[in-house]
Amino acid sequence: MNSPGAQPNELPKEEGKERSTPTDTRTTAVRMAVIGCGNFARRQHLPNLVSMPEAVLHAVCDINPKTAQAAAEAFGAEEAMCCSTEVFADESIEAVVVAVPDDFQADIARAAVEAGKHVYLEKPGGVSESDYRSLIEARDRCGSRVAIGFNKRFAPAYAAAARTLRADGGPRNLLLRMSDDGWRWARHLPSGALLEHDACHLFDLAAWFTRRRALTVYAAAARDDDYSIVIRFEGGTVATVLISGHATMDFPKERLEAVTERGSVVVDDFVELKAFGYGPTTIPSLTFPGRASRKVDEPWVERIGNRGLAGMLDVRRTLWTLHKEHEVAEDSGGPSTSVLPNFLRDQGWYESLHAFVASVPSDRDPPNATLEDAHRTFLITDAARRSLASGQVETVNVED
């Protein structure tokens, strides 16, 4: 497992991949706007952006004026806007983060590109074949850069896993699991929401870990929002994606298991990696700290510490108990709880956005997932949807 000369417990360095850094001599920060200041942007993109020395948050935009104003005040944006056309008309804005609901993502991103902005577009990036085709066409015509928010590629635990797996030829068999309390947080969404909105993260990861093209998909539902999806890739690699919205907050939400030619790797909830079978001297076991994007999260991240899964379980159990108590309080008009264990794990949100921001002044493409990656992920989702309906193995349509 360890490359020659590496210290025990040290993972091989990733080959041939450099993070973008500004290559010119410019000293001014990138002027940014965030479009869509909902739950996710307020928890991650806005606090992360304002802590980046390379960025300045010039404007926030939300169709809801109160949300826009509140975000501007909370994060110190110079302008609060209610319509994305105001953002596009402001020539001082170089790049935008698009974090609106999935149905509106592609149209807003296309308009941004046509206005000459670089775009960090939240996953999935579109909801139809025509969304991806027209966005790719606009990007190529206008020359802007578009990065997709498949942030899990930048999670330190998954980056380390990828280095280990690729050093041994990549995974042959892969399990990616995501199980949470979707029955609670997604109760306002139509059933099937997890397949449409969340599974894309895991489809992207499966393709990214294997660096192979998906050929076929078989999907089975135990019930709504409780799926197992088997993807066969070129070269014979198989990935199983298990996604369930029927777990509870105290359950570790995500797990990766991968088997390569010589060994195997397990990652638990982004905080602990274990590798087996790669070397005579050591069985690497790495822990990864969480990451607090907000002050209120800091004590909880400290409590996870470097204790790996044990630390994460401790925090999950405590927060679950607190949330259950608060749910009773919320029903009677009490305060809602704010700290959620899933946002305490380092899923690469900061690094992913930072890589994009750093690429803006340079002449290099950002190292993030591309629109083509997002399109391929959409095609896997589409095949899974068809397989659920037909009960058959379905072919993944090919892009042009």
Ligand X SMILES: NC(=O)c1ccc[n+]([C@@H]2O[C@H](COP(=O)([O-])OP(=O)(O)OC[C@H]3O[C@@H](n4cnc5c(N)ncnc54)[C@H](O)[C@@H]3O)[C@@H](O)[C@H]2O)c1
* Contacting residues toward ligand X, per CB under 6 A: 35-41, 61-64, 67, 84, 99-102, 104-105, 122-123, 149, 151, 197
User: Which position's Cβ is nearest ligand X?
Assistant: 38
Min CB(46)–ligand X separation in Å: 11
Min CB(103)–ligand X separation in Å: 9
Nearer CB in complex with ligand X: 39/306: 39
Instruction: Give the residue among 243, 224, 239 at the shortest CA–CA distance from 388.
Output: 224
Min CB(218)–ligand X separation in Å: 25
- For 356, the 3-state DSSP assignment is helix
Min CB(61)–ligand X separation in Å: 5
User: Distance of CA 85 to CAs 38, 43, 80, 82, 159, Å?
Assistant: 18, 24, 13, 9, 37
User: Which DSSP string do the residues of 29-63 spell out, in sequence order?
Assistant: PEEEEEE--SHHIIIIIHHHHHT-TTEEEEEEE-S
Nearer CB in complex with ligand X: 62/168: 62
What is the 3-state secondary structure of 171-200? CCEEEEEEECCHHHHCCCCCCCHHHHHHHH
Nearer CB in complex with ligand X: 63/242: 63
166/263 Cα distance (integer angstroms): 12
Nearer CB in complex with ligand X: 64/338: 64
Nearer CB in complex with ligand X: 149/311: 149
Nearer CB in complex with ligand X: 131/168: 131
User: Distance of CA 222 to CAs 3, 80, 187, Å?
Assistant: 42, 45, 18
Min CB(364)–ligand X separation in Å: 23
User: Which DSSP string do the residues of 58-90 spell out, in sequence order?
Assistant: EEEE-SSHHHHHHHHHHHT-SEEESSHHHHHH-
- For 359, the 3-state DSSP assignment is helix
Min CB(107)–ligand X separation in Å: 8
Min CB(336)–ligand X separation in Å: 13
Nearer CB in complex with ligand X: 40/208: 40
User: Distance of CA 350 to CAs 51, 89, 156, 293, 310, Å?
Assistant: 9, 27, 11, 8, 24
